[in-house]
Chains A and B, each alone.
Chain A
Amino acid sequence: DARVTQTPRHKVTEMGQEVTMRCQPILGHNTVFWYRQTMMQGLELLAYFRNRAPLDDSGMPKDRFSAEMPDATLATLKIQPSEPRDSAVYFCASGYWDGPYEQYFGPGTRLTVT
């Protein structure tokens, strides 16, 4: 049963610290998405990749957030420095660029910045 995996599942850190979240997409999927979910804003798209190339990161605060895909089996989302307003659940999802278009979500990383 292929699944998207994310680590860590929970992260508590102090303001100003660097946070790195990792995602392993489903093998064979060629698009990877990063979302953030909060009570205030709901589900927001931060960035997405096609064949490891970044396509759109307009939803991401550029000064502190960065997203990369070092290889086809790993996507990372980094926050440096972290702020309390970054506290949220971060989801990774993967899918196919050319359809079918459903995205498969990981279990999320719950980030708390104090």
Chain B
Amino acid sequence: GESVGLHLPTLSVQEGDNSIINCAYSNSASDYFIWYKQESGKGPQFIIDIRSNMDKRQGQRVTVLLNKTVKHLSLQIAATQPGDSAVYFCAEGMNYGGSQGNLIFGKGTKLSVKP
């Protein structure tokens, strides 16, 4: 029979535009959130993290926004470049209890940058 793969949301942007990748997380008690980038044939790579007591954090060309009211996380990439093409994962975790140090990963969003 025909195999059905995981359907990843896809975001297609023009080079130079800003990208916004969204993520809905599951646990309102999560203490921290991390964004990962996975390029084809490679392992996920850490981009940026944010603690639950913050609502915004900026890095180089990236900004993460956290809205705990609706359990929503977003990653903004400024001036998107072809090298930003990848699958982006959000992950959440807790810094206490039995799950300390563990991360729960979302399904990912595929970003395609058109030159």
Quick one: which of B42, B49, B102 contacts A56, CB cutoff 8 A? B102
Contact yes or no, A91 B44, CB < 8 A: yes
Interface residue from B32, B43, B98, B103 paired with A107 (Cβ < 8 Å): B43
- When the two chains form their complex, are residues B43 and A101 in contact, meaning their CB atoms are under 8 A apart? no
| Residue A48 at the chain B interface, CB threshold 8 Å | yes
Residues of B within 8 A of A (CB): 3-6, 32, 34, 36, 42-46, 49, 89, 93, 95, 98, 100-103, 105, 107-108
Q: Which residues of A contact B (CB under 8 A)?
A: 4, 31, 33, 38-43, 45, 48, 50, 56, 91, 93, 95-108
- A-B pairs with beta carbons under 8 A, tally: 62
> How many Å from the CB of A95 to the closest CB on chain B?
7
Contacting pair A40 B101 (CB below 8 A): no
In the complex the two chains form, what is the Cα distance from A54 to B49 in whole Å? Answer: 26
- Decide: A91 and B89 in contact? CB cutoff 8 A: no
How distant is the Cα of A40 from the Cα of B36 in the complex, in angstroms? 19
| Docked pose: A102 CA to B103 CA in angstroms | 9
User: Are B49 and A102 neighbours in the complex by a CB distance under 8 Å?
Assistant: yes
A42 touches B108 (CB 8 A): yes
How many angstroms from the CA of A104 to the CA of B103 in the assembled complex?
12
Q: Which residue of B lies closest to A38 (CB)?
A: B6
Please indicate the chain A residues that have their CB under 8 angstroms from the CB of B101 in the complex: 31, 48, 50, 95-98, 101
Q: Closest residue to A50 on the B side, CB-wise? A: B101
Question: Of all chain B residues, which has the CB nearest A3?
Answer: B43
Known interface pairs A43-B44, A95-B101, A107-B42; A101-B108 also in contact (CB < 8 Å): no
Which residues from B are CB-within-8-Å of A45? Answer: 102-103, 105
CB-CB < 8 A to B32: which residues of A?
Answer: 101
25 pairs, A vs B, C-beta closer than 8 Å: A31-B101, A39-B3, A40-B3, A40-B6, A42-B6, A43-B44, A43-B89, A45-B102, A45-B103, A45-B105, A48-B101, A48-B102, A50-B101, A95-B101, A97-B100, A98-B101, A100-B49, A101-B93, A102-B49, A104-B46, A105-B43, A105-B45, A106-B43, A107-B42, A108-B43
